[in-house]
């Protein structure tokens, strides 16, 4: 499918930060015309739109070079002053003598590429007899009718405005207006009408607003509140994450993703903490609240230890594609005297279960395609995958269209380099293939950097760079192993 594209470059100011900008558009002879919806391939391109008028005096003014249908009555009186440059358009090759005009429909399309996060958009439309606005395949509104003559007449004399902001995305946006003519009965034709008898057209215009590039939240100063639990009465206490800020002032949503602790969930004999002889370690599980904004932690610790430290992992989301992750710590001290603090040995044991030795391998699945998850007597173990899987696994979650890209189109050259690298990896265990794959991944990383400098959505570029880096690291480790194997043989 070929569709006219508008690429909008935003001027940099104030230290290279782009300011918000408004991108106008309007119906004219540059719009592509399709026989069917261009968002649903295969679409048949008919050519460029043509300017049309009922006659030389309608609408006012009738632009130079427009096709005159020859309808000798006034009409198309919608006031277009709010959409400068807009003109009534229809399909190419149509004249007043073309028949049948009845129920004919065409799709007028243009792709507008936004280099930043859209902050809003509107479109105002008039039609003879019906127009439907489609943004990225989503219906944004309809004006006019092909069954109600009065509604059709109203649609040609008044602009109707629709909010299209909710349907816009960073990157390519397909704007489509479907125009359809009414039946012969609207014009009183005994048979098929010509366009001189039953004219058709659409006129529209609007603007898309692009905000400054969205900056992700800052998790570096995150803290737990409260950050210490006392007394150790085994009760759950709600703990939230504070201190996360957003440089754009966006409201930030915190979601708890995991809770771990530095004390085992079983004692040396394998008994559940809290049973006789365990030093008041408590219950199991010791945490809850995954997927919410509040972690629930048990106020308990091993009475024979140096205090328990909970580690709460979280993700902060600004609702505009910006995210950061972090980890905050909560101490359950041994006592309120000299042992009022905690010795943090790290997030060693899952606090939400399984309790003690894992019951089955499925209970250890961390959802990461780049780790091998196994059960041991002391709990779950997550080890990095090796071999070819270490190269391919970073692209297993979304591939070259990861969730961080939010639907933004990734330059095809990047995907081509990655595909070539993965193809080399699939060819076999010869070191020369792995070396070539590493070079292709290096070139892909360079292309990501170039795309980011030319406006690729920042969270998307960062995610792709991380995936490619991990794949290169996996390939380098595999190449080292292959060389050692060959040397040993």
Q: What is the pLDDT of residues 172-185, one digit of tens each?
A: 999 999 999 999 99
**Report for 198-207, 426-435, 449-458: range of highest mean pLDDT:** 198-207
Residue 485 scores a pLDDT above 80: no
Those residues with Cβ within 8 angstroms of residue 13's Cβ, 6 or more apart along the chain or in another chain: 19
* Paired sense of beta strands 50-53 and 67-68, if any: parallel
**End-to-end Cα, the chain, rounded Å:** 55
Mean predicted confidence (pLDDT) in 158-163: 96
Per-residue confidence (pLDDT) for residue 463, from 0 to 100: 85
The helix or strand, by DSSP H or E, that contains position 445, with its residue range, turns out to be: helix 431-453
Mean predicted confidence (pLDDT) in 440-444: 91
pTM: 0.49
Per-residue confidence (pLDDT) for residue 480, from 0 to 100: 84
Burial class (CB in 10 A: 0-12, 13-18, 19+), 34: buried
pLDDT confidence bin for 16, thresholds 50/70/90: very low
Q: What is the 3-state secondary structure (H, E, C) of 47-72?
A: EECEEEECECCECCCCCCCCEECCCC
List residues bridging with 172 in a β-sheet. 113
Per-residue confidence (pLDDT) for residue 144, from 0 to 100: 95
pLDDT confidence bin for 273, thresholds 50/70/90: very low
How far, in whole angstroms, is CA 437 from its chain's centroid? 29
Average predicted confidence (pLDDT) for the chain: 85
In the chain, domain spans: 5-210, 223-353, 388-488
Following DSSP, what letter does each residue of 115-152 receive, concatenated?
A: SS-EEEEEEEEEEESEEEEEETTEEEEEEE-SS-HHHH
Q: Pick one of 2.60.120, 1.10.10, 3.40.50, 3.30.450 as the CATH number of 5-210.
A: 2.60.120
Closest CA to 379 of 282, 236, 277, 263: 263
Q: Check residues 119 and 227 and name the one with the higher pLDDT.
A: 227
Predicted confidence (pLDDT) per residue in 359-400, tens digit = 445 556 777 778 877 766 556 777 778 888 888 888 875 567
Those residues with Cβ within 8 angstroms of residue 21's Cβ, 6 or more apart along the chain or in another chain: 8, 10, 11, 209, 210
Q: Which stretches within 345-430 are classed as H helix?
A: 388-392, 412-426
pLDDT confidence bin for 355, thresholds 50/70/90: low
Mean predicted confidence (pLDDT) in 411-426: 88
Q: Which stretches within 348-430 are classed as H helix?
A: 388-392, 412-426
Check: CB of residue 469 under 8 Å from CB of residue 476. Answer: no
Per-residue confidence (pLDDT) for residue 227, from 0 to 100: 95
Lowest mean pLDDT among 235-249, 284-298, 361-375, 408-422: 361-375
Count the neighbouring beta carbons within 10 Å of the beta carbon of residue 281. Answer: 28
Following DSSP, what letter does each residue of 197-215 receive, concatenated?
A: TS--EEEEEEEEEEPSPPP
Return the DSSP state at 193.
P
Per-residue confidence (pLDDT) for residue 6, from 0 to 100: 45
Per-residue confidence (pLDDT) for residue 328, from 0 to 100: 96
Measured torsion, CA atoms of residues 121, 124, 128, 132, in degrees rounded to the nearest 10: 20
Lowest mean pLDDT among 150-154, 254-258, 394-398, 479-483: 394-398
Count of alpha carbons within 13 angstroms of residue 435, beta-carbon side: 6
Count the neighbouring beta carbons within 10 Å of the beta carbon of residue 225. Answer: 12
Per-residue confidence (pLDDT) for residue 356, from 0 to 100: 52
Those residues with Cβ within 8 angstroms of residue 485's Cβ, 6 or more apart along the chain or in another chain: none
Mean predicted confidence (pLDDT) in 458-466: 84
Residue 404 scores a pLDDT above 90: no
Residue 164 scores a pLDDT above 60: yes
List residues bridging with 124 in a β-sheet. 161, 205
Return the DSSP state at 425.
H
């Amino acid at each position: 499918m070929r569709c006219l594209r508008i690429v909008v470059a935003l001027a940099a100011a104030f230290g290279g930060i782009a300011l918000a900008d408004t991108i106008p558009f309007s119906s004219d002879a540059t719009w592509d015309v399709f026989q069917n919806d261009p968002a649903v391939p295969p679409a048949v391109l008919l050519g460029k739109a043509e300017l049309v008028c009922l006659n030389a005096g309608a609408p006012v003014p009738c632009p130079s070079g427009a096709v005159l249908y020859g309808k000798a009555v006034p009409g198309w009186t919608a006031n277009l002053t709010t959409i400068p440059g807009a003109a009534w358009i229809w399909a190419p090759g149509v004249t007043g003598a073309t028949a049948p005009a009845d129920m004919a429909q065409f799709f007028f399309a243009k792709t507008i590429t936004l280099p930043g996060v859209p902050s809003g958009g509107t479109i105002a439309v008039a039609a003879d007899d019906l127009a439907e606005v489609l943004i990225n395949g989503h219906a944004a509104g309809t004006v006019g009718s092909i069954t109600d003559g009065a509604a059709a007449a109203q649609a040609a004399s008044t602009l109707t405005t629709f909010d299209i902001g909710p349907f816009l995305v960073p990157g390519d946006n397909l704007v489509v207006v479907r125009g359809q003519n009414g039946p012969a009965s609207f014009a009183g034709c005994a048979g098929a009408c010509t366009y001189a008898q039953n004219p058709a057209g659409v006129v529209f215009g609007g603007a898309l607003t692009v905000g400054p590039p969205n900056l992700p939240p800052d998790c570096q100063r995150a803290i737990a509140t409260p950050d210490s639990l006392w007394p150790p009465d085994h009760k759950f206490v709600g703990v939230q994450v504070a201190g996360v800020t957003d440089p754009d002032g966006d409201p930030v949503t915190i979601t708890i993703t995991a809770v771990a602790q530095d004390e085992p969930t079983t004692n040396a004999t394998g008994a559940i903490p809290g049973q006789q002889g365990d030093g008041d370690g408590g219950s199991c599980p010791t945490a809850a609240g995954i997927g919410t904004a509040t972690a629930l932690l048990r106020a308990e610790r091993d009475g024979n230890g140096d205090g328990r430290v909970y580690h709460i992992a979280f993700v902060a989301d600004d609702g505009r594609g910006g995210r950061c992750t972090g980890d905050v710590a909560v101490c359950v001290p041994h006592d309120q005297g000299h042992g009022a603090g905690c010795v943090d040995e790290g997030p060693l044991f899952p606090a939400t279960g399984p309790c003690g030795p894992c019951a089955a391998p499925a209970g250890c699945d961390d959802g990461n395609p780049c780790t091998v998850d196994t059960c041991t007597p002391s709990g779950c173990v997550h080890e990095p995958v090796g071999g070819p899987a270490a190269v391919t696994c970073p692209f297993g979650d979304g591939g070259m269209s990861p969730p961080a890209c939010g639907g933004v189109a990734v330059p095809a050259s990047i995907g081509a380099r990655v595909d070539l690298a993965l193809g080399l990896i699939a060819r076999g265990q010869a070191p020369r293939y792995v070396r070539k794959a590493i070079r292709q991944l290096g070139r892909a990383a360079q292309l990501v950097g170039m795309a980011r400098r030319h406006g690729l959505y920042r969270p998307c570029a960062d995610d792709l760079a991380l995936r490619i880096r991990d794949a290169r690291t996996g390939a380098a480790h595999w190449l080292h192993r292959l060389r050692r194997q060959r040397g040993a043989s």
